[in-house]
Amino acid sequence: MLTTPLIVAALLAAPPPATFTATVDGESETLVLEGIEIRTGEVFYVGNVTIGCTYVSASCVYFQSLFGPAVALLGNFYSANACEGSVSVETSFDLPICPVTYTVIGGLSSVTLTSRTDSAKLACVGDNEWLARTTSDGVGTYDIWLCPTELELVLPGTSYASNVWCSPIPSCPGPESVSSLGVDTAYVLSGGDEAKVVVQSVVDGTFIDPCPADLDGDGVVGRADLGLLLAAWGTPDGDVNGDGTTDGADLGILLNDDGPCPTC
Q: What percent of the chain has pLDDT over 70?
A: 92
pLDDT value of residue 208: 79
The mean of the pLDDT values for the chain is 90
Predicted pLDDT at 4? 44
Averaged pLDDT for residues 63-78: 83
The percentage of residues in the chain with a pLDDT greater than 90, rounded to a whole number, is: 76
pLDDT of residue 66: 63
> 213 or 98: which carries more pLDDT confidence?
213
β-strand partners of 183: 93, 134
Q: Is 197 or 38 the better-scoring residue by pLDDT?
A: 197
Global confidence as pTM: 0.83
The pLDDT, as a whole number, for residue 3 is 38
pLDDT confidence tier of residue 161, bands split at 50, 70 and 90? very high
- Top mean pLDDT of 11-20, 39-48, 49-58, 97-106 is at 49-58
State the DSSP string of the chain: ---HHHHHHHHHSPPPPEEEEEEETTEEEEEEEPPEEEETTEEEEEEEEEETTEEEEEEEEEEE-TTSS-EEEEEEEEEEE-SSS-EEEEEEEEEEEEEEEEEEEEEEEEEEEEESSS-EEEE--TT-SEEEEEEETTEEEEEEEESS-EEEESSSEEEEEEEEESSSSS-EE--SEEEEEEEEEEEEE-TT-EEEEEEEEEEEEEEPPS-TT-TT-SSEESHHHHHHHHHTTTSGGG-SSSSSS-SHHHHHHHHHT-EEPP--
Higher pLDDT, 1 or 182: 182
> Would you say residue 102 has pLDDT above 70?
yes
Question: Is 26 a residue whose pLDDT tops 90?
Answer: yes
- pLDDT at position 78 over 90: yes
Using CA atoms, how far apart are residues 99 and 191, in angstroms rounded to an integer? 41
pLDDT tens, residue by residue, 208-233: 787 899 999 888 999 999 999 999 99
Q: What is the mean pLDDT of residues 128-150?
A: 94
Question: What pLDDT is stored for residue 167 in this prediction?
Answer: 93
